Amino acid sequence: MTSEADIASIAGQLAALTRTVAAMERQLKTVSERADSQQRQADSQQARTEAQQERIDLAARELADVSERLQAAANALRESI
């Protein structure tokens, strides 16, 4: 091979490599965006879960308070009879 042919061959290989790297960059960007989207969805779901758990905890405390008041009322009623 002549040096011009060598240069042309290397230039072709370099162009092909450049296209491959550009394609890989696009794929990586797509995967990264998808991962970011999934992370945002997971964070949102976690926030909803935490809010729901807080409501459940509050309802449980309120139920315990009502139960205590009912028990006190029942005790008072028994004592009055």
The whole-model pTM stands at 0.62
pLDDT at 52: 98
* Distance, CA of 38 to CA of 46 (rounded, Å): 12
Q: Give yes or no for residue 1 having a pLDDT over 70.
A: no
> What is the per-residue pLDDT across 23-76, written as a single tens digit (0 to 9) for each?
999 999 999 999 999 999 999 999 999 999 999 999 999 999 999 999 999 999
* Distance, CA of 66 to CA of 61 (rounded, Å): 9
> What is the per-residue pLDDT across 21-37, written as a single tens digit (0 to 9) for each?
999 999 999 999 999 99
Helix residue ranges per DSSP H, the chain:
3-80
Indicate the pLDDT class of residue 2, thresholds 50, 70 and 90. confident
